[in-house]
Amino acid sequence: MGNIDYECPHRVSVPPSKPFFKSLKSGLKETLFPDDPFRQFKNRPASRKFLLGLQYFVPILEWAPRYTFEFFKADLIAGITIASLAVPQGISYANLANLPPIIGLYSSFVPPLIYAMMGSSKDLAVGTVAVASLLISSMLGKEVNPNENPKLYVQLALTATFFAGVFQATLGFLRLGFIVDFLSHATIVGFMGGAATVVCLQQLKGILGLVRFTHATDLVSVMRSVFSQTHQWRWESGMLGCCFLFFLLLTRYFSKRKPAFFWINAMAPLTSVILGSVLVYLTHAEKHGVQVIGHLKKGLNPPSLSELAFGSPYLMTAIKTGVITGVIALAEGIAVGRSFAMFKNYHIDGNKEMIAFGMMNIAGSCTSCYLTTGPFSRTAVNFNAGCKTAVSNIVMATAVMLTLLFLTPLFHYTPLVVLSSIITAAMLGLIDYEAAIHLWKLDKFDFIVCMSAYVGVVFGSVEIGLVIAVAISLLRVLLFVARPRTFVLGNIPNSVVYRSIDQYPIANSVPGVLILQIDAPIYFANASYLRERISRWIFEEEDRLKVSGETSLHYVILDMSNVGSIDTSGISLLEEVKKIVDRRGLKLVLVNPRSEVIKKLENAKFIENIGQEWIYLTVGDAVAACNFMLHTSKSNLGVEYNSQDDNV
Amino acid sequence: MGNIDYECPHRVSVPPSKPFFKSLKSGLKETLFPDDPFRQFKNRPASRKFLLGLQYFVPILEWAPRYTFEFFKADLIAGITIASLAVPQGISYANLANLPPIIGLYSSFVPPLIYAMMGSSKDLAVGTVAVASLLISSMLGKEVNPNENPKLYVQLALTATFFAGVFQATLGFLRLGFIVDFLSHATIVGFMGGAATVVCLQQLKGILGLVRFTHATDLVSVMRSVFSQTHQWRWESGMLGCCFLFFLLLTRYFSKRKPAFFWINAMAPLTSVILGSVLVYLTHAEKHGVQVIGHLKKGLNPPSLSELAFGSPYLMTAIKTGVITGVIALAEGIAVGRSFAMFKNYHIDGNKEMIAFGMMNIAGSCTSCYLTTGPFSRTAVNFNAGCKTAVSNIVMATAVMLTLLFLTPLFHYTPLVVLSSIITAAMLGLIDYEAAIHLWKLDKFDFIVCMSAYVGVVFGSVEIGLVIAVAISLLRVLLFVARPRTFVLGNIPNSVVYRSIDQYPIANSVPGVLILQIDAPIYFANASYLRERISRWIFEEEDRLKVSGETSLHYVILDMSNVGSIDTSGISLLEEVKKIVDRRGLKLVLVNPRSEVIKKLENAKFIENIGQEWIYLTVGDAVAACNFMLHTSKSNLGVEYNSQDDNV
């Protein structure tokens, strides 16, 4: 007996083995260049290659020749709109980062120009962001007090920006953009919500007109700090703040309901600043406890290369701050760029964007700018204002330049409380509770990730929240591999298709045959688990059959279709499963081992061990073979059907 | 038109949704209890449940009633054999851990008794191990000098043992045994080899009779220390060491060739100790630079609960040492127990073993024992000596007890150099270069993990090597998920089976249809990658068809069979792929989404979006439907074939 008479229709093939370096090369290409950026360079003359390469890194060279006056009209309007947002936001966020307000204006001048040349998004508006500003103040503030040692603090912020740029550009050049992917959507929703909450809490200082305030960012410290000095609250400041906050939220509500009036929302911050400044100037409120910005230096960005504190004892802090803020800024910028590219149906290359962001921050750090990226709010306004290309960034930079050259004295009387209101209004929009509800509905695990990021940021610190969320996200990936699911397959009636009995209750199990599907690569991390689990499936099936008195078990079929990869621990596992199965007098059958798996099994001599004839291409073939042999053996009573040394 | 006329044979079913807590419960059970240890408790009376529970935790209650005199004879011989190994090894490894030699003897008395009651292995012989001893000396030695402050050092070692035991038992109770699985076979091969190399290097101190020696363990420091004091080398000591080493290696070589003479190898260490002691006693070599053990206190283990230094400022060091050595000891003990259980065809429950190891170390730390586990060498001797049950451990413990009570003065003249030779001989057997070659042949990545563990241990430190190896192993798991492979499928001739064209070059592609298979769960970590990669497949296929002038592309079929899980980022990815495909005037078809995936897609309304009629159970069905519609549309020229709102 044996399968000598059984004609198997199709065989599993072992793919031809590739030379080591060839397979290494193709593996690296698949890992690092999924989009194959060199495709267009193939079979071109050298001069054309050079031009294409230049256009690859400096996209403006590609689209500038096709730029039209129509485009410019649209970009001009969009640019002026975002400039009106950029000036108050720049000052506010610099304030949040404990940096001089003028640095916030500087940061809206040089970086947008660099991005306009190197960036590939048509909609992204460059600027500083609240979360990165908060991170800079909390990470650097731990080491250097910005009030006691403002010069060193600014130097460290610029140095951190430099390293953020270097890190971003390096990630792009080395095609390591996938590091950003480890910040999942759920992490970002929770993290942004948490950071926005924390930023709002920090604004209580400005709105209540407090002079002393905690340096910690967590809810408990801030609340303790606020309520321990109730007698210091300034009602003038508080009232002004609430009024402006109400005004800003009202304009946003209105704009949201009628998108055509987006500009009302876009102009609201600048209007608030003008109104607030005029009000303070007329009432001399600055003498009644309403703090104002004060003197702003006229003139463009001074060079700051010599300010970079490479020799400072705090260099490590600056590097750490740079790397963390750099990654977060990247994640926000790329996510924003991609979202708007999806709307307009064009494609953004993540790695190229990283190089653009990196260059923009390196250049920024040498011209007195701190960390910039593509903020969601400003980009959304840019998009709504009808921008066509990155020229809107150039327009914005020009407007900011004019402000720096001529208009800075006008901001002398701008009250800080208005800036706090602007930040608070912007941040309230970032707490995306609807997204959290959506996550809960779709995927409980993502909801847990999101909530832990939120809780970690609000009750711990920004870094703690981030680390917890990334750790939980990674744990999920590891858990998927460490605890792979195994399914029992059954036959879908009137077909040769086998599917999980859990999902298809109509599927019928095959008498005498247990079909198991393993749902992950077999690695060291799951080999012991799979041994336990497979043993239990076999025991339970045997118990069940004994109780119900059906045909006893003769074959165990392992469907390897979903086993994409295997390591040496995995091979040992299969050898152990073979022993377990043999010991119980059963026969192990493999189905559809994939190319990597079958190559390794052949090298490990497992194919010889199990027998080439016990490996089938489909579950259907394997079941047919098992049934054939089961009936042959039944008709030859007394002949052992699972002897190992059949003649084939 | 559309698929109104097309009869699809089988439909993908959405499994009935389970209540949240029920699915949580079944998920936790699959994750933590793969072997379902409560199975035997089902439907039993309470008294029986209690007895079974007791037997579960104290297996001796289960097998003791079946114990026979035949078993005892075998266990007695095995027990005496391993005792002859335990005494010199105990003294040697205590020496390696910089602990008083008597603690090594104590450690072979109490822990084996505990293990005999609670352990589930029949072959494991309990004792101290070289790697854990080395780790204790290197980790504690950094904080406390064992020569200057021996009492505190011993207290910390006991405290570390206590925490190792608590940690091990906790892992077992919480069913977290899978943490040990993250030490892959490759990691252990490299790590053990590296640790053995380091231990051998440390023995140069004893063999060369050096008094001063570096506290570092890396190759460079040790070599510098050895060669900086060549004038201190003692030839008497060196010669004695080399002779004994030669003797020990010779006996091992002989035993390996004739396994029946295993006892020659087993007795060799004790013989060496006796020979060496007699030699020193007769020649008074201790006065000529050969260091001896000196006075050993008579008597059994003194209680040491009061020695546990919970209030010490070094408590954190002790906890850290305990956790790391505990994990490594567990990994070795469980791997050894499992290997021998495989030989004898019985099963070991990892979590239960962890509880036994943990209890044994907690009890040990209260009775002046330091960290014990199941060393490979001693267990192999036990197995070869024909042990039947854990009673051989009781015999060994009794023999050690007699030694402690009456024979300790005999070890006064034992030269340290003999102990060094014993350790060196044992360690040389642990450098498993054949396993490393095997790894290279089977799996290059495992080889890299193994080598980095080895190099890390030898040139860095034991902890560095371990951390590097675990990090690289985890990176592989993450990389598998972060960079999933995608395959183009083709039709195997004369079948309805579709397989990867890479693996089956005979497979034919279907005109007008691109069939892609995704080989991993779709998570945040790979969503961007998959978008790039799938886009590229589509572009490349369209380019190829344009060049070759074949039927242009009309359908993109995504085979989701291998997508075991999806998160919200993954759902967004599918939505984006749908947009990309739509934009190019193509139609997206899904095949065989699995239960978890289809549930989430339905919740996210993606099924509505794509259309229920564009989801098929098999690739064959999908291709048949596409072909049907392709021909229908061709015969109805002018009718757009990929309109989305077909009537179904």
Residues A317, B504: Cα–Cα separation, whole Å: 54
The CB-side HSE value for B225 (13 A sphere, CA atoms) comes to: 20
Residues B356, B60: Cα–Cα separation, whole Å: 12
In degrees and rounded to multiples of 5, residue B300 shows phi and psi of -75, 175
SS3 A601: helix
Q: Which residues of A65-88 are buried (b: 16+ CB within 10 A; e: fewer)?
A: eeeeeebbebbbbbbbbbbbbbbb
Tokens of A277: 């400044």
In this prediction, residue A53 carries a pLDDT of 84
Contact B536 A36 (CB under 8 A): yes
In degrees and rounded to multiples of 5, residue B37 shows phi and psi of -65, -15
In degrees and rounded to multiples of 5, residue A107 shows phi and psi of -70, -15
Contact A529 B34 (CB under 8 A): yes
Instruction: State CA B399 to chain mean position distance.
Output: 33
Residues B326, B78: Cα–Cα separation, whole Å: 27
List CB contacts (< 8 A) between A40 and chain B.
Answer: none
The DSSP-derived string for B190-234 is HHHHHHHHHHHHHHHHHHTT-SS--S--SHHHHHHHHHTTGGG--
Chain B contact present for A497, CB below 8 A:
yes
Chain B contact present for A517, CB below 8 A:
no
pLDDT tens profile A7-35:
666 777 777 777 778 878 887 787 777 77
Residues B191, B200: Cα–Cα separation, whole Å: 14
Out of A485, A572, A604, name the one closest to residue B30 (CB).
Answer: A485
H helix or E strand, kind and range, residue B516:
strand B513-518
**Chain B nearest CA to A422, separation (Å):** 31
Q: What is the pLDDT confidence band of residue B9, given thresholds at 50, 70 and 90?
A: low
Q: Which residue has the higher pLDDT, B130 or B110?
A: B110
pLDDT greater than 50 at residue A197: yes
Out of B446, B595, B618, name the one closest to residue A497 (CB).
Answer: B618
pLDDT tens profile B589-633:
999 999 889 989 988 899 999 988 889 999 999 999 998 888 876
Contact B491, B499 (CB under 8 A): no
pLDDT, averaged across chain B:
86
Q: Which residue has the higher pLDDT, A174 or A34?
A: A174
Q: Which residues of A165-201 are buried (b: 16+ CB within 10 A; e: fewer)?
A: bbbbbebbeebebbebbbbbbbbbbbbbbbbbbbbbb
**Chain B nearest CA to A280, separation (Å):** 48
The DSSP-derived string for B429-466 is TT--HHHHHHHHHH-HHHHHHHHHHHHIIIII-HHHHH
pLDDT, averaged across chain A:
86
Contact A126, A423 (CB under 8 A): no
CB atoms within 10 A of CB A1: 15
In this prediction, residue B50 carries a pLDDT of 86
Out of A184, A505, A569, name the one closest to residue B185 (CB).
Answer: A569
In chain B, which residue's Cα lies nearest the Cα of A526?
A: B181
In this prediction, residue B636 carries a pLDDT of 53
pLDDT greater than 50 at residue B637: no
Chain B contact present for A494, CB below 8 A:
yes
Give the neighbor-by-neighbor strand order of the sheet with A486-491. A498-500, A486-491, A513-518, A555-559, A587-591, A615-616
pLDDT tens profile B315-331:
999 999 999 999 889 88
Mutation pick from A38, A532, A544 vs chain B, by most beta carbons of B within 10 Å, is: A532
**A456: DSSP letter:** I
> Out of A258-262, B46-50, B269-273, B500-504, which region has the weakest mean confidence (pLDDT)?
A258-262
Q: Classify residue A28 by burial, with Cβ atoms within 10 Å: 0-12, 13-18, 19+.
A: exposed
Residues A263, A57: Cα–Cα separation, whole Å: 33
Contact A34 B536 (CB under 8 A): yes
Q: What is the pLDDT confidence band of residue B332, given thresholds at 50, 70 and 90?
A: confident
As a whole number, mean pLDDT of residues A503-527 equals 90
pLDDT greater than 60 at residue A636: no
As a whole number, mean pLDDT of residues B103-125 equals 93
Contact B343, B80 (CB under 8 A): no
**Chain B nearest CA to A472, separation (Å):** 12
In this prediction, residue B118 carries a pLDDT of 92
Contact A561 B565 (CB under 8 A): no
Beta strand residue intervals within A468-572, DSSP E: 486-491, 498-500, 513-518, 555-559
Q: What is the pLDDT confidence band of residue A370, given thresholds at 50, 70 and 90?
A: very high
Chain A contact present for B499, CB below 8 A:
yes
Tokens of A194: 């948490």
Chain A contact present for B567, CB below 8 A:
yes
**Chain A nearest CA to B524, separation (Å):** 5
Chain A contact present for B288, CB below 8 A:
no
Which residues lie closer than 8 Å to A300 by C-beta, 6 or more apart? A106, A109, A401, A404, A405
Contact A600 B576 (CB under 8 A): no
Q: What is the pLDDT confidence band of residue B6, given thresholds at 50, 70 and 90?
A: low
Residues A574, A593: Cα–Cα separation, whole Å: 12
Which residues lie closer than 8 Å to A4 by C-beta, 6 or more apart? A646, A647, A648
Mutation pick from A354, A478, A499, A576 vs chain B, by most beta carbons of B within 10 Å, is: A499
As a whole number, mean pLDDT of residues B276-300 equals 83
Whole-complex ipTM: 0.81
Q: What is the pLDDT confidence band of residue B502, given thresholds at 50, 70 and 90?
A: confident
Q: Which residue has the higher pLDDT, B234 or A436?
A: A436
**Chain A nearest CA to B222, separation (Å):** 32
In this prediction, residue A1 carries a pLDDT of 37
Instruction: State CA A614 to chain mean position distance.
Output: 44
List CB contacts (< 8 A) between A527 and chain B.
Answer: 181
Which residues lie closer than 8 Å to A221 by C-beta, 6 or more apart? A214
Mutation pick from B443, B539, B543, B563 vs chain A, by most beta carbons of A within 10 Å, is: B443
**Chain B nearest CA to A14, separation (Å):** 7
Which residues lie closer than 8 Å to A516 by C-beta, 6 or more apart? A486, A487, A488, A489, A534, A537, A556, A557, A558, A559
pLDDT tens profile B369-414:
999 999 887 888 888 888 899 999 999 999 999 999 988 888 888 8
As a whole number, mean pLDDT of residues B223-241 equals 86
In chain B, which residue's Cα lies nearest the Cα of A17?
A: B503
Chain B contact present for A529, CB below 8 A:
yes
Unique residue bearing structure tokens 């605890």? A483
Unique residue bearing structure tokens 């041994």? A531
| Percent with pLDDT over 70 in chain B | 96
Chain B contact present for A350, CB below 8 A:
yes
Residues B108, B129: Cα–Cα separation, whole Å: 11
Angstrom CA distances, A143 to A137, A148, A164, A371, A602, stand at 10, 12, 18, 19, 59
Angle at B343 between CA B340 and CA B345, to 5 degrees: 105
CB pairs under 8 A between A and B: 221
Residues A32, A358: Cα–Cα separation, whole Å: 19
| Percent with pLDDT over 90 in chain B | 29
List CB contacts (< 8 A) between A36 and chain B.
Answer: 536
Q: What is the pLDDT confidence band of residue B182, given thresholds at 50, 70 and 90?
A: confident
Q: What is the pLDDT confidence band of residue A347, given thresholds at 50, 70 and 90?
A: confident
Contact B13 A485 (CB under 8 A): no
At B512, which amino acid appears? G
Q: What is the pLDDT confidence band of residue A478, given thresholds at 50, 70 and 90?
A: confident
Contact B565 A594 (CB under 8 A): no
pLDDT greater than 80 at residue A437: yes
Report which of B191, B215, B208 is spatially closest to residue B132, judged by C-alpha positions: B191
In chain B, which residue's Cα lies nearest the Cα of A341?
A: B576
Residues A444, B24: Cα–Cα separation, whole Å: 10
pLDDT greater than 50 at residue A638: no
Residues A222, A213: Cα–Cα separation, whole Å: 8
**Chain B nearest CA to A423, separation (Å):** 29
Residues B167, A265: Cα–Cα separation, whole Å: 58
Return the bridge partners of B517, or none: B487, B559
Out of B177, B532, B598, name the one closest to residue A35 (CB).
Answer: B532
Mutation pick from B14, B28, B181 vs chain A, by most beta carbons of A within 10 Å, is: B181
Q: Which residue has the higher pLDDT, B26 or B590?
A: B590
In chain A, which residue's Cα lies nearest the Cα of B578?
A: A342
In this prediction, residue A8 carries a pLDDT of 61
As a whole number, mean pLDDT of residues B437-456 equals 91
Residues B595, B565: Cα–Cα separation, whole Å: 9
Chain A contact present for B10, CB below 8 A:
yes
pLDDT tens profile A575-613:
989 988 998 889 999 999 998 899 899 888 999 998 888
At B590, which amino acid appears? L
pLDDT greater than 90 at residue A160: yes
Most confident of A40-44, A424-428, B158-162, B210-214: B158-162
In this prediction, residue A647 carries a pLDDT of 40
Report which of B122, B153, B137, B169 is spatially closest to residue B360, judged by C-alpha positions: B169
Out of B13, B441, B533, name the one closest to residue A603 (CB).
Answer: B441
Angstrom CA distances, A287 to A100, A207, A242, B460, stand at 21, 16, 20, 64
In this prediction, residue A252 carries a pLDDT of 84
Q: What is the pLDDT confidence band of residue B639, given thresholds at 50, 70 and 90?
A: very low
As a whole number, mean pLDDT of residues B175-181 equals 75
**Chain A nearest CA to B442, separation (Å):** 6
**B126: DSSP letter:** -
pLDDT greater than 50 at residue A318: yes
| Percent with pLDDT over 70 in chain A | 96
